[in-house]
Amino acid sequence: MSSKISEQAAKQKIDEIKPKLKQWSKEYYVQDQPSVEDDVYDSTYQQLVDLEKLYPNLVTSDSPTQNVGGRVLPQFSKVNHNIPLLSLGDVFSKQELDDFTVRVEKNYPAVKQFNCELKIDGLSISLRYENGTFVEGSTRGNGQIGEDITRNLKTIPSIPQQLSRPVTIEVRGECYMPKESFANLNAERERNGENVFANPRNAAAGSLRQLDSRITASRHLSTFMYNVADYDDLKTNTQSGLLAELSDLGFRINPSYRVADNLDQINSYIDEYQEKRDHLEYGIDGIVVKVNELSLQKEIGATVKVPKWAIAYKFPPEEEETKVLDIEWTVGRTGVVTPTAVMEPVKLAGTVVSRASLHNPDYLAEKGIRIGDTVKLHKAGDIIPEISQFITDKRPSNSKPYQIPTTCPSCGAKLVHLDDEVALRCINPACPAQLTEQMTHFASRNAMDITGLGPRIVQQLFDHHLVNDVAGLYQLQFDDLLNLDKFGEKSAANLLNSINNSRSNSMERLLFGLGIRHVGAKAARLISEHFKTVDALMAADLEAIAAINSMGTVIADSVTTYFSSEPAQNLINQLKSVGVNMEYTRSDESGEDNSFFNQKRIVLTGKLEQMTRPAATAWLQDHGANVTSSVSKNTDLVIAGQDAGSKLTKANDLDIPVWDEQRFISEING
Specify the 3-state DSSP secondary structure of 108: coil
Asked if residue 215 and residue 274 are part of one domain, the reply reads: yes
Residues 213 and 161 in one domain: yes
| 200, 100: one domain | yes
So what's the pLDDT on residue 549? 77
Measured distance CA(180)–CA(319) in Å, rounded: 21
Q: Where on the phi/psi map is residue 301: left (φ > 0), alpha (ψ -120 to 50), or beta?
A: left
Is residue 658 a contact partner of residue 648, using CB atoms and an 8 Å limit? yes
Q: Is residue 53 a contact partner of residue 46, using CB atoms and an 8 Å limit?
A: no
Question: Domain count of the chain?
Answer: 5
Residue 28: name the closest of 285, 355, 391 by CA: 285
The reply to whether 249 and 106 lie within a common domain is: yes
Cα–Cα nearest to 531, from 520, 539, 543: 539
CATH of the domain at 45: 1.10.287.610
Whole-angstrom Cα Rg for the chain? 28
pLDDT at 594 over 80: no
Residue 72 has pLDDT above 60, yes or no: no
549 lies in the same domain as 609: no
**Residue 426: inside a domain, yes or no?**
no
Residue 287 lies in a domain: yes
Rounded mean pLDDT, 333-360: 89
Q: What is the CATH number of the domain that holds 650?
A: 3.40.50.10190
Q: Is the pLDDT of residue 469 over 80?
A: yes
Q: With 50 as the cut, is the pLDDT of residue 36 above it?
A: yes
For residues 521 and 441, the answer to whether their CB atoms sit within 8 Å is no
- Same domain for 14 and 112? no
Judged by average pLDDT, the poorest of 88-102, 345-359, 582-596, 602-616 is: 582-596
Last residue of a domain, one of 518, 549, 577: 577
pLDDT at 643: 77
Average pLDDT over residues 167-184: 91
DSSP string, 314-348: EPPP--EEEEEEEEEEEE-TTSEEEEEEEEEEEEE
**Does residue 422 sit in helix, strand or coil?**
coil
The confidence score (pLDDT) of residue 329 equals 94
CA distance 533 to 506: 10
Same domain, 54 and 97: no
Residues 6+ apart with CB under 8 A from 580: 471, 474, 502, 503, 505, 510
Beta strand residue intervals within 7-160, DSSP E: 78-80, 90-91, 114-120, 123-130, 133-139, 145-147
Question: Does residue 72 lie within any of the structural domains?
Answer: no
- Any long-range contacts for 81-84 (C-beta under 8 Å, 24+ apart)? 81/126, 81/138, 81/140, 81/141, 81/143, 81/144, 81/145, 81/146, 81/229, 82/229, 83/170, 83/229, 83/230, 84/143, 84/144, 84/302
84 plus 167 within the same structural domain: yes
Tens of pLDDT, residue by residue over 267-319, are 999 999 998 988 888 989 899 999 999 999 999 999 888 899 999 999 887 88
- The pLDDT value recorded for residue 69 is 52
Q: Does 592 have pLDDT greater than 80?
A: no
pLDDT tens, residue by residue, 526-572: 999 999 999 999 999 999 999 887 688 888 988 998 899 888 899 99
Side-by-side strand order, sheet with 637-640: 626-628, 601-605, 637-640, 658-660
Is it the case that residue 593 has pLDDT exceeding 50? Answer: no
Of 258, 349, 271, nearest in space to 313 by CA: 271
**Which domain CATH number covers 529?**
1.10.150.20
Task: Inform me whether the pLDDT recorded for 143 exceeds 90.
Answer: no
What domain range includes position 18? 7-66
What's the mean pLDDT when you consider all of the chain? Answer: 87
Q: Check whether residue 660 and residue 526 sit in a common domain.
A: no
Helix (H) or strand (E) holding 424: strand 424-426
Residue 52 inside a domain? The answer is yes
**Could you give the residue ranges of the DSSP H alpha helices within 444-541?**
455-463, 478-482, 489-502, 507-513, 521-531, 534-539
Task: Report how far Cα 667 is from the mean position of its chain's Cα atoms.
Answer: 31
Whether 75 has a pLDDT exceeding 70, the answer reads no
Say if 546 falls within a structural domain: yes
Instruction: Tell me if 357 is assigned to some domain.
Output: yes
539 and 642 fall within a common domain: no
In this prediction, residues 221-229 reach a mean pLDDT of 93
Give the orientation angle of helix 200-208 with respect to helix 179-191, to 10 degrees.
Answer: 70
Last residue of a domain, one of 314, 340, 364: 314
Q: Same structural domain for residues 172 and 134?
A: yes
Residue 204 domain-assigned (yes or no): yes
pLDDT: which is higher, 146 or 630: 146
Nearest to 540 by CA among 524, 519, 554, 560: 560
Q: Clarify whether residues 235 and 308 are in a common domain.
A: yes
Q: What phi and psi values does residue 632 have, to the nearest 5 degrees?
A: -140, 180
pLDDT at 60: 81
> Which residues participate in catalysis according to the annotation?
119
pLDDT at 354: 93
Domain boundary among 552, 577, 602: 577
Do the domain assignments include residue 419?
A: no
| Average pLDDT of the segment spanning 95-100 | 94
Residue 465: CB atoms within 10 A of its CB come to: 8
User: Rounded CA gap, 542 and 552, in Å?
Assistant: 9
AA identity, residue 274: Q
First to last CA, the chain: 70
CATH number, residue 254 = 3.30.470.30
What does the alpha-carbon distance between residue 80 and residue 520 come to, in Å, rounded to a whole number? Answer: 39
